[in-house]
């Protein structure tokens, strides 16, 4: 809990530095904290929150453990065949694999091995030459690592069971659209389409499994210039990691109508150390997908929503920042009607943790346009989140009441926000089957506070302070407003 709070404070300082009327002492403090936040959000050394937390050794002779990530280090042990190891760090140190070809690599991993039935452990570094990554409790096949340096090599290297190390500042596939559209986008072995260009250059990746796209060093500027197109689309993909990308529309003037990233009919995806710069419409659009995660990422400059979740389940956002969006909605959750749910993924869980909502000008923070049956309840949780210096017309907006939503705010801070107009509603159209709980949270110092009205029928308060008044356990609040 303390780590979460500390992380939250550090990231907060990065954005608060943009606010006006700061004292010199505050500015000096912010510079120091901003440096810490940059180090945290742009860590180029390791991925500590990976979809690959464990692995299984499949080298029959076992795998050697070294005390440092190179073969010149001291050997500290050998891990037997078919043993499981815990992965502590995925380093960005690689070794050329001469058994395959000169363009593939093995990665150094920092691991801990616990000998079954004993208290003995071995820790150190191993190469991932002959291991199976255990992905979300599902074993996947090993990945070949390929180095790419431009758009053509990027497309040629795309494939399942691969790690693409991308050593370039910019990827602009649209720039090569006329040349690449004629290229063979079919997989020779499966005769299935691997990618396609839609519109005038929007790249859609299709059917990839167990693939990692990872920047080397500084983030990759993944751009598109046609403001009508989406920047990048994933369709029918599974077990994928995107690390160190800045997605955006590069336009000379006006707003974009295209989305930034589209995740369609996909599962088990992680975006880490990435930025979703809308320059227009939607930062991340998740449709009919499940187990999609965003970590240490930024969502900004979007005009419709930062994140839209349609007919999707188990979406999580953590250690991230949602800021400077002049948008209709920040988090938009939609579900087809019960009659149309047969081929759709029901929304069961959406989790946002240790995430900040700062300096947004928006109609509503959270909009729910869903219609559930009683046997399809959803849970939407915000834990250790901060909502500060936003201008809002409503905080939560239920487009269709009686939707069987459970919405939790745990350890959250809602302060220094401002109502956009006199018609502001803190919670709009809450239904009798929707439950909203504030637990261990703080609500105070909001401007135009008289407009922050609460629908009192279903708000539950537990150890929550509202303008200095502590409510320890109120099952159904009888507050008239949060003034």
Structure tokens at 472: 């320890």
Q: Quick one: what percent of the chain has pLDDT higher than 90?
A: 29
Question: b/e map of 456-481 (b: 16 or more CB within 10 Å)?
Answer: eebbbbeebbbeeeeeeeeeebeeee
Residue reference for tokens 């930025």: 275
- pLDDT grade for 401, boundaries at 50, 70 and 90: low
Q: Domain 47-139 falls in which CATH fold? A: SH3 type barrels. (2.30.30)
pLDDT in tens, 366-386: 988 876 544 456 789 999 999
User: Is a pLDDT exceeding 50 seen at residue 6?
Assistant: no
User: Is a pLDDT exceeding 80 seen at residue 19?
Assistant: no
pLDDT in tens, 176-224: 665 555 444 555 555 555 777 766 667 889 999 989 998 887 789 998 8
Neighbouring CB atoms inside 10 A of 177's CB total 18
Tell me the C-alpha distance between 134 and 58, whole Å.
12
Question: Are 186 and 193 contacting, i.e. CB atoms less than 8 angstroms apart?
Answer: yes
């Amino acid at each position: 809990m303390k780590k979460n709070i500390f992380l939250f404070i550090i990231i907060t300082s990065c954005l608060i530095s943009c606010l006006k009327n700061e004292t010199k002492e505050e500015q000096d403090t912010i510079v120091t904290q901003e440096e810490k936040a940059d180090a945290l959000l742009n860590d180029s050394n390791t991925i500590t929150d990976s979809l690959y937390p464990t692995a299984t050794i499949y080298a029959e002779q076992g795998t050697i453990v070294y005390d440092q990530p190179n073969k010149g280090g001291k050997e500290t042990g050998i891990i037997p065949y078919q043993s499981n190891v815990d992965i502590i760090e995925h380093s960005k140190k690689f070794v050329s694999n001469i058994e395959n070809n000169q363009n593939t690599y093995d990665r150094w991993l920092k691991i801990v091995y616990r000998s079954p039935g004993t208290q003995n452990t071995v820790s150190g570094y191993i190469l991932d030459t002959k291991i199976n990554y255990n992905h979300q409790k599902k074993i996947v096949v090993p990945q070949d690592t390929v180095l790419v340096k431009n758009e053509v090599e990027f497309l040629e290297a795309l494939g399942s069971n691969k790690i693409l190390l991308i050593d370039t500042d910019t990827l602009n596939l649209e720039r090569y659209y006329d040349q690449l559209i004629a290229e063979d986008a079919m997989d020779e072995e499966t005769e299935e389409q691997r990618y396609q260009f839609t519109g005038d250059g929007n790249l859609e990746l299709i059917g990839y499994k167990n693939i990692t796209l990872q920047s080397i060093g500084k983030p990759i500027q993944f751009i598109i210039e046609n403001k009508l197109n989406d920047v990048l689309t994933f369709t029918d993909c599974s077990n994928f990691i995107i690390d160190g990308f800045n997605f955006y529309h590069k336009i000379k003037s006006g707003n974009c109508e295209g989305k930034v990233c589209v995740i369609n009919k996909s599962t088990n995806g992680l975006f880490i150390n990435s930025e979703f710069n809308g320059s227009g419409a939607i930062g991340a659009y998740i449709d009919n997908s499940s187990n999609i995660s965003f970590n240490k990422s930024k969502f900004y400059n979007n005009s419709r929503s930062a994140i839209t979740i349609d007919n999707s389940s188990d979406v999580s956002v953590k250690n991230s920042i949602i800021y400077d969006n002049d948008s209709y909605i920040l988090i938009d959750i939609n579900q087809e009607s019960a009659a149309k749910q047969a081929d759709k993924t029901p929304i069961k869980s959406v989790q946002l943790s240790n995430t900040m909502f700062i300096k947004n000008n928006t109609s509503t923070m959270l909009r729910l346009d869903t219609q559930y049956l009683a046997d399809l309840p959803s849970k939407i949780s915000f834990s250790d989140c901060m909502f500060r210096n936003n201008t809002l017309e409503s905080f939560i907006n239920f487009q269709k009441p009686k939707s069987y939503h459970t919405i939790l705010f745990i350890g959250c801070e809602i302060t220094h926000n401002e109502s956009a107009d006199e018609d502001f509603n803190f919670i709009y159209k809450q239904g009798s089957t929707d439950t909203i709980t504030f637990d261990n949270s703080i609500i105070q110092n909001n401007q135009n506070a008289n407009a922050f009205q609460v629908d009192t029928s279903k708000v539950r308060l537990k150890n929550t302070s509202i303008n200095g008044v502590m409510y320890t356990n109120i099952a159904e609040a009888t507050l008239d407003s949060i003034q």
